[in-house]
A and B are shown apart, each in its own frame.
Chain A
Amino acid sequence: MNGLQLNLLAATDSGSAVLWTFLIYMIGVFLIAGLSNRLLQNRNFLSEYFLGSRGLGVWAFALTLAATSSSGGSFMGFPSKIYTHGWSLGLWIGSYMVVPICVMGLLGKRINEVARTAQAITIPDVLRDRFRSITFGLISVSLIVFFMTFNLIAQFKGGSTILKTLLGPIDAFTSSAASLPDWIGSLCSQGNEYLLCLVVFGVAVIVYTTYGGFHAVVWTDVMQGVVMVIGVIIMLPLAISQAGAVAKTDKGAGLEQVTRAMARMVPPRKGTATITAAQAGADVTVPSGSWIFVGEGDSQRLFKIKNRYDLTGSESRFEAAEIWEIVTPADIQQVRRRLESGSEPSNVTGQIKLEIEELKDYAYGATPEQAGSYVSGPGPSREKVDGFLPLSLAISFFFMWAISGTGQPSNMVRLMAFKDTITLRRSIFTVAMYYSAIYFPLVIIFCCARVLMPGMESEPDRIMPQMAVELTSNIGMGWLAGLLIAAPFAAVMSTVDSFLLMISSALVRDIYQRNINPEAEEKKIKTLSYVITMVAGLGALFGAMNPPEFLQDIIVYTGSGLAACFLAAVVYALYWPRSNAQGCIAAMVSGFAAHLSLYLVGFFQGNGFSPYRPFSIDPIIIGLAASFVVGYVATILTPPPPQDLVEKYFHEAS
């Protein structure tokens, strides 16, 4: 059991509070699915199952869009980046100030109208009918299924990891995982606890999505959206007051003290060491995340050992153990205080010997000339000598969030579902306020985490649950941690269910009904929709048992790739009467090819899944530029579209 789990146990009295929170949450989700299934009766099944009968009101529309956009990354990856790189994450996320108005306002009204005119239920439906091109419909279906399948596997893994953090301290869970037969455990490369969480998470999402369809997804999104914002609102004042009290610098109060303390911070050093027992032959357990002081007096140094080691008579020495040295004096003091208070449970000083093999400073942020890197740009970076967020990358992220978000088919399909333009206007306003309440406060909260909990660089993905436990246990309300930890879990769930429905709608509506059996009876379509949704979910679940490497990079690849494929094609289809099928297909294919080719170059250069960035320009910008330019050129070089199509979608009825 690691430090976090011990903390959770202590903070929640018995750990059962976390389990109860999770169970209540899941009961709520299934109740919503049951109610949604009742809505499927007496309505057009496909329209209701995949698009909610185009009747979403303000809260449903606003929160489903907000929650779907906020995947697990918002509550796991983003906090870990803030913790690791400091205030520069404010600029990294800065374009979220215009994300709601861009994502919903640029295409919303027009795509909704065109979808109604075409009687379209999916994005491929819109493109196929807008240009009367079966080929276009099939290409777009293929791209959606290709990208979404990868993304779904990655999101399933994210959901399982979060659930493992949530349920980890509960004895019933760990003993259940340990009692799984060996042949079941051998199916998964990530261990029994991960497998059990994957099955629980996967089956829950598959069942409620399959049974309830679009309305279940939307209303669970609403509930999940509320959980997320409540989590942030509770954490913000707690973080500022507690970190401010710890910082205690000479100047200012609260957050100012935190910022000034961060200005004094120097990034830790990462390295390896050989671990041996201090007394020869002694059995010593070194829990993961243990602290050890080396030396005496002013020359005393503090190290964190990342992984667990069991030193025994037969195995008394471990080489190449990952260690982190904390070098900021205030951080060392804070660790000392936490060890004394029991907040940090593992101090192995005196029990083991540490022979340092290698220690490396951060590539940016460690020298005196780069002092204050946590409170200035480009932010500290362990690998990159030009820092975490150089200028070119800052510009890329302004494209990434606002423009790439506009090009996501999962967002576009929601824009087809709102009831009327009053709903659209009020929803844009609602999402703008919602994002304002979440994203910048998250930057503040996890800057405070740097002061409160030094040394989390060794496991930054755990900073969100660890911070939730820290803040609530400090005020004697450990049970609240369950609710706060539910926020990232809710974020992953709301993304997974939407992607699942997109894949099944592509297969049922766009492939089967529109190409194979247009005369299929509703009963058959209904059965097929349930079966395909379940099969797609189970496929992703099995894929996530042995997930590929580079998962976070795959999520970035699929998100930016979808935008490179779809944005130009949809913009031309909606706003350019002269656009034709040839031009828009060229836009889609060229965006896909340009984006993919940069990843392939990066791969063949030996960078794994990190793309090649010519002149430090991100593939999303190059993919979008290629898509818009090629689409435009191909359109004007090919014949104009049939006049009746232009009249149907652009002209007033005479």
Chain B
Amino acid sequence: MSSPDAPPLPNDTGPRLTRVFLNSRREAIVIFGSWFVALCWSVPYCYINGYGHQIDPETMNTTLGIPSWLFGGILLPWIAADLFTTWVCFFFMKDDDLGTAGDEEVHGEPVAVAGAEGGAA
């Protein structure tokens, strides 16, 4: 599992961290960030626009039949989250060799390397 593009440890000429570890950590940080952004958008947006208001059925705002506070706070970011997930899955996540355990069935196809589906090395 040698990797020419894995960055060396600071002040270290010794062993390098595995590429799977480095890629996984980088991807985990981005994914955790997406959860945090979703939290920071959805909860305040819904709270500010949808909580504690007296509702007049005739004049209340709806979008596609859904209360507008829920459309902007949940449905719209949900669509954005799906687009983000698509980008992460097909353009951001790297394909890595996860190794082989002694007990597993042997798969015929070789494991694709980074960039196979858009992932930049």
User: Which positions in A face B, CB cutoff 8 Å?
Assistant: 43-44, 46-47, 53-55, 87-88, 90-91, 94-95, 97-98, 100-102, 105-107, 109-110, 112-113, 115-117, 119, 121, 240, 249-252, 254-261, 263-264, 369-373, 375-378, 391, 394-395, 398, 402-403, 419-422, 424-426, 428-429, 432-433, 436, 440, 444, 574-575, 577, 647, 650-654
Contacts and interface: CB of A to CB of B under 8 A. Distances in A.
A259 B1 CA distance: 57
Contacts of B67: 87, 259, 375-376
Contacts of B55: 263, 371-373, 375-376
Given A109-B27, A421-B93, A428 B88 contact: yes
A304 to B, nearest CB: 24
Contact of B103 (A47, A258, A426): A47
Contact of A98 (B18, B34, B56): B34
A425 B78 CA distance: 19
Given A110-B20, A398-B43, A440-B74, A98 B81 contact: yes
A97 B47 contact: no
Contacts of A426: 89
A98 B35 contact: yes
A483 B1 CA distance: 49
Contacts of A432: 81-82, 85-86
13 contacts: A47-B104, A94-B77, A109-B27, A117-B101, A255-B65, A371-B55, A377-B46, A377-B50, A378-B51, A420-B98, A421-B93, A422-B112, A652-B2
Contacts of B117: 422, 425
B111 A420 contact: yes
A597 B100 CA distance: 42
B88 A105 contact: yes
Contact of A97 (B15, B82, B107): B82
4 tightest Cβ-Cβ pairs between the two chains A and B = A372-B55, A255-B65, A47-B103, A651-B15
Nearest to A431: B85
A580 B39 CA distance: 32
Contact of B31 (A105, A375, A377): A105
A113 B93 contact: no
A261 B3 CA distance: 62
A94 B74 contact: yes
A313 B3 CA distance: 88
Contacts of B39: 95, 395, 398
Q: How big is chain B's contact interface, by range?
A: 35 or more
Interface string B99-119: 111111101000110001100
A91 B75 CA distance: 10
A639 B112 CA distance: 39
Contacts of B90: 425, 429
A651 B116 CA distance: 24
Tell me whether chain A's interface is mostly helix, strand or loop, or mixed.
helix
A373 B94 CA distance: 46
A53 B17 contact: no
Given A106-B28, A109-B23, A109-B27, A429 B103 contact: no
Nearest to A118: B101
A98 B105 contact: no
Contacts of B112: 420-422
B76 to A, nearest CB: 10
A54 B1 contact: no
A369 B93 contact: no
A421 B105 contact: no
A644 to B, nearest CB: 11
Given A106-B31, A425-B93, A440-B74, A255 B64 contact: yes
Given A98-B38, A398-B42, A375 B103 contact: no
Contact of B60 (A258, A372, A647): A372
B57 interface: yes
Contacts of B94: 421
Interface of B: 1-3, 6, 15-21, 23-25, 27-28, 31-32, 34-35, 38-39, 42-43, 46-47, 50-58, 60, 62, 64-67, 69-70, 73-75, 77-78, 81-82, 84-86, 88-90, 93-96, 98-105, 107, 111-112, 116-117
A54 B104 contact: yes
Contacts of B20: 109-110, 113
B99 to A, nearest CB: 4
Contacts of B77: 94, 97
B81 A97 contact: yes
Contacts of B32: 102, 106
A97 B96 contact: no
B43 A421 contact: no
A94 B38 CA distance: 9
Given A107-B28, A109-B27, 18 more contacts: A54-B101, A55-B105, A95-B39, A97-B74, A98-B35, A106-B31, A106-B32, A110-B20, A113-B18, A263-B57, A372-B53, A376-B50, A376-B69, A394-B46, A421-B95, A421-B96, A421-B112, A424-B93
Contact of B89 (A106, A394, A429): A429
Contacts of A88: 50
B91 to A, nearest CB: 10
B97 to A, nearest CB: 8
A428 B27 contact: no
A95 B116 contact: no
A320 to B, nearest CB: 35
Contact of B6 (A429, A647, A652): A652
A463 B99 CA distance: 48
Given A106-B28, A259-B65, A651-B17, A53 B38 contact: no
A432 B78 CA distance: 10
A150 B71 CA distance: 38
Given A101-B88, A403-B35, A652 B16 contact: yes
A53 B103 contact: yes
Contacts of B60: 259-260, 263, 372, 375
Contacts of A115: 101
Nearest to B30: A105
B31 A102 contact: yes
Contacts of A444: 66
Contacts of B6: 652
Nearest to B109: A420
B95 A116 contact: no
Nearest to A646: B15
A94 B98 contact: no
